[in-house]
Amino acid sequence: MEFRYLGHSGLKISEITYGNWLTHGSQVENDIATQCVHAALDAGITTFDTADVYANTRAEKVLGDALAGQRRESLEIFTKVYWPTGPRGHNDSGLSRKHILESINGSLRRLGTDYVDLYQAHRFDYETPLEETMQAFADVVRQGKALYIGVSEWTADQIRAGHALAKDLGVQLISSQPQYNMLWRVIESEVIPASRELGISQIVWSPIAQGVLTGKYAVGAELPAGSRATDEKGGGAQSIKRYLTDEVLQGVEELKPIAADLGLSMAQLAVAWVLANDNVASALVGASKPEQVIDNVGAAGVKLEPEVLSRIDEVVGHLAVTDPKKTVSPDTRPS
């Protein structure tokens, strides 16, 4: 495993982060989830990402239980706040002071820790003044409940405004957590340049396009049993749908010789591709079985040469979504 600094901070994180969206507390049984976390630890992963909304708080509890007994100082634990949780009452979502301060306490209790290393705004909240949100995050940091703050799926302008307020309040906004992979590149034109300027790193989710870039989905073939595309319960089927077009699947098929030439699995090639961007501090990977963790970790330390990156662009570059306007948050708080 290799480690990278997160933004212009002194915090180092593993360049592969284990995340439990769509799996823990919903898609897989708790004992398998624990095996996946332990496989991540055995592989050298020290950074773990979750959110209160995942499986309506159950994912945080599963992760906390799986990490119990580990030396806390050797781990970096991240969580997020914004989406509805609990009984989904009128104050159970968003980035109000009330919801943030109540949510961090619930997250810490479920995770079994006194603090998280990074507390992230899961989306931008148009219904709460940004000043209120950032003051609440600053108070969470001053209370020692979080060491740093970050955002997820914010636009470049939103990141700039949040960073300026955080700086005025004396706290460090050091990360952005966007979707990013060979097929989804909406952060490249605006978010990444702004982040470089401000000293913010990306922790990217869905580096293998929710499994599509593994090559297991094929044109005209039935969906593999037990795959994310068949997960109606946890929401995986809906989230992966946009990638399952014949044109995209054919393009992914043409990536296989590139991976083979490098001696990499398709998943390793995909993860190595996002890590080739110098503004990416870590790639978030999830798993429904320990073997997937082990495979993904094989991307750690892989350096893709410029000619390889060019070959990849020739195959799938024209298929990638690049419009920065695709980075959006709900106009109103979800309930």
Task: Please say if the pLDDT value at position 26 is more than 60.
Answer: no
- Dist CA 55 CA 333 (whole Å): 18
Q: 217 an active-site residue?
A: no
* Average per-residue pLDDT for the chain: 92
Hunting for tokens 């990416």 — which residue is that?
A: 280
**Residue pair 55/321 in contact by the 8 Å Cβ criterion:** no
Hunting for tokens 């949780």 — which residue is that?
A: 85
The pLDDT of residue 2: 96
Confidence category of residue 241, pLDDT binned at 50, 70, 90: confident
DSSP characters over 137-194: HHHHHHTTSEEEEEESS--HHHHHHHHHHHHHHT--EEEE--B-BTTB-TTTTTHHHH
Counting other chains too, the contacts that 136-143 makes at CB distance below 8 Å and 24 or more residues apart are: 136/95, 136/96, 136/97, 136/100, 136/101, 137/100, 137/166, 137/171, 138/166, 138/169, 138/170, 138/171, 139/101, 140/100, 140/101, 140/104, 141/171, 142/171
Hunting for tokens 């110098």 — which residue is that?
A: 278
Type and span of the H or E element at 227: none
- Out of 5, 18, 54, 119, the active site residue is 54
- Dist CA 228 CA 225 (whole Å): 9
- Dist CA 129 CA 119 (whole Å): 19
For residue 230, the one-letter residue type is T
Task: Please say if the pLDDT value at position 225 is more than 80.
Answer: no
> What Å distances lie between residue 242 and 2, 27, 186, 319, CA to CA?
32, 20, 15, 12
Type and span of the H or E element at 43: none
Interval 164-185: pLDDT, tens: 999 999 999 999 999 999 999 9
pTM for this predicted structure: 0.93
- What is 3-326's CATH topology? TIM Barrel (3.20.20)
